[in-house]
Amino acid sequence: MHISEGVLGGVVLAAGAGLSLAGVAVGLKKLDYGQMPKVAILAAAFFVASLVSVPIGPAKAHLVLNGLLGLLLGWGAFPALLVALALQAVLFQFGGLTTLGVNTFNMALPAVLCYLVLGGLTRNGGQRMPLLAGFLAGSLSVGGSALLVAATLYTAGQEFLTMAHLVVVAHLPVMVLEGVITAATVGFLRRVRPAMLGMA
């Protein structure tokens, strides 16, 4: 789901960089020192999961895990994703440094929104509601990111319109898989490490 360099215009790149910097600033302000190991582990999980990707023109389809990052880190998903995407751009040329802000925003915003809307449901309720919330967070965060990537590609011109549609369609099965993985992880953490979900 990385957008390559040379595709987007300067205004879109600047807007993405500015919005991502704002998100990272909020994320860093809300994080405390004790959460840094969790942030590092989840950034590494995202880094490894998205190494296996299928090219789709200027974008790539792969596991994202941004919904899981959002549920576990909240606004901390912004700095975690920024670091992971920067390492991918430098080490493997996934995306690029000029598109780092746009790519970070496209993946982190849906993660934070899922945290704000669904995070409480993963900590409360009976057995089924947390799993359903985890599934929705996993699937909707990927779907939201795919829609943001498609919208971003649309700003690059009519020649990328077909590619924008393809990005959304290609991520439909990924949405289901991410939902299952996130729901299973939420269920597991509720049993063995509820503190990671913010539970007492």
What pLDDT is attached to residue 54?
Answer: 62
Pairing of β 53-56 and β 59-62? antiparallel
124 pLDDT band (50/70/90 cuts)? confident
What pLDDT digit, counting tens, does each position of 69-123 carry? 999 999 999 999 999 999 988 888 877 899 999 999 999 999 999 999 999 899 8
Spatial CB neighbours of 93, under 8 Å, sequence gap ≥ 6: none
> SS3 of 60, please?
strand
What pLDDT digit, counting tens, does each position of 138-188 carry? 999 999 999 999 999 998 888 888 888 888 888 888 899 899 999 999 999
**What pTM does this model have?**
0.88
What pLDDT is attached to residue 51?
Answer: 76
What pLDDT digit, counting tens, does each position of 13-39 carry? 999 999 999 999 999 999 888 888 889
Fold of 10-197: Arp2/3 complex 21 kDa subunit ARPC3 (1.10.1760)
Spatial CB neighbours of 111, under 8 Å, sequence gap ≥ 6: 66, 67, 69, 70, 77, 81, 141
CA 47, CA 41: separation in Å to the nearest integer?
Answer: 10
Cβ proximity of 151 and 105 under 8 Å: no
Q: Does the pLDDT value for residue 55 go beyond 70?
A: no
